[in-house]
Amino acid sequence: MNGDLELSEWRRQWQSDADVPADLRRKVERQTLWMRIGLAADGLVTVGIGGGVTAWTIRDPRPDMVLLTAATWIFIAAAWIVGLKVSRGLWSPVAIDTATFVDLSIRRCRARISALNFGFALVACEVAFLMGWLYHRTGDAWLTVPAWVLGTAFFVALFWYRRRKRAELTYLLTLRADE
């Protein structure tokens, strides 16, 4: 269903009924599921990337590898700290009414935008570090191109998603104002 039509239907149901509309409830439940999947994915990245780089450093304990491992764990820790901070209090509604569900959706939207803004800075730092590390390690500037290309693609995806979330937030705030 189109997001605008869905939100318009929420507004209509909200103004005519005290119960939480089923589609709003499903949307919040779906968001919660995606939050859980995201948390699990973060755990896999921590174990996979952090553990992999650490294992690589144990096998090849040169100073540049130790630097790579330290930077990797700093980036992972920063991502976890911000991720946990922005998701605090967003796991479930405090009451079962439409206003609470809409407010939770608004807070989740704002948290996601905040996390995306941090994501821009984190990806920029990671790409800059990785490009410098690759150049230092190999002396070949061409090996930095994949990091630059992947970083650019990630920036484009973050920008698109942030724009989508901002539009959703605007609509949710309009919906709440029309109560």
What is the rounded CA–CA span in Å between residue 178 and residue 11?
A: 8
- Tell me: pLDDT of 15 over 60: no
- Tell me: pLDDT of 178 over 90: no
- Mind listing the pLDDT tens digit for each residue in 70-124? 999 999 999 999 999 999 999 988 888 888 888 999 999 999 999 999 999 999 9
- Mind listing the pLDDT tens digit for each residue in 132-158? 998 888 888 887 888 889 889 999 999
- Tell me: pLDDT of 29 over 70: yes
Q: State the helix-helix crossing angle for 51-59 and 63-87, rounded to 10 degrees.
A: 170
